[in-house]
Amino acid sequence: MRKASHAYLGSYAMDFFDCNCSYGTPAYPPFRFARTPDQLLEAMDFCGIDRGLVYRAGMRFGSPLLWNDPTAADLANEPRLEPAWAVLPHQTGEQPPPEQFLSQMQASGVRALWAFPNEHHYRLDGLTFAGLLEALTANHIPLFVKLNAIELGDFMREFPDLTAVAVNQGPHSLERYLRPLFDAYPNLHLDTSYLIVEGLIEEFCERYGPGRLLFGSAFPDNCAGAAMLRLAQADIPEDTKEAVAAGNLDRLLAEVQI
């Protein structure tokens, strides 16, 4: 088992828990990606990232039906990597009904889910996912959502109490879209993967507090070091950095009640 290599910010080591990273071969492979969990750990060690909440590229660019279970099996004996699954509409028979799906999550040690509506060609709404999204809300299971800000707003209006994490929002300014959503929905969170413009992390924490911001690298879409550097250089208190770097994700996962 490979041990974590902490990132040193200032004079002390900080724990980084990446909420947005993956392994496997993407549909359009970037210059550097991780084919296997071991290669992902190597990439994390290179930057000093301790832990990861991980999905597999096949779950995003192929079918979660084929890759959810193998991903949990791949990571079962690697304490630094925790599996996340992706969702599909159950009406097509590709995913079990909500109660059975949650039982499968529990059996596989899965505490978080991803939604890739554009890649998988579905609408993330109540018509398609009402039963599942109601179950996620009741059990405090976080759903990581890859949607543009306008569609994200439509989704949150239907499920305002869901613990949702908006990912890959940026890097150009989306504040006029996003701020009304964060004002309206206290359970909506944001990952830092595209907050690479100076001042965005500081202003988010000042306006909403540090508890709704999660460190995410978006590796391999992004180089993991960019998000780390922006957080390291952010003009916020050290305990706030620690919360964003790992503490907030630890808390969300601890609240899951499956």
Q: pLDDT tens digits for 163-173?
A: 999 999 976 66
Global pTM reads 0.93
pLDDT value at residue 151: 95
The domain segmentation of the chain, as residue ranges, is: 14-254
Whether 118 shows a pLDDT value over 70: the answer reads yes
Cis-peptide, bond into residue 79, ω within 30° of zero: no
Average pLDDT, the chain: 93
Per-residue pLDDT at 214: 98
Does residue 157 surpass a pLDDT of 70?
yes
pLDDT over 90 percentage in the chain: 88
Q: How confident is the model at residue 28 (pLDDT cuts 50, 70, 90)?
A: confident
pLDDT confidence of residue 258: 83
- Given a cut of 60, is residue 125 above it in pLDDT? yes
Question: How far is Cα 213 from Cα 204, in angstroms, rounded to an integer?
Answer: 8
Q: Is 11 a residue whose pLDDT tops 50?
A: no
Model confidence pLDDT, tens digit, residues 201-228: 999 999 999 999 999 999 999 999 999 9
The CATH architecture of the domain made up of 14-254 is Alpha-Beta Barrel (3.20)
For position 248, what pLDDT does the model report?
A: 98
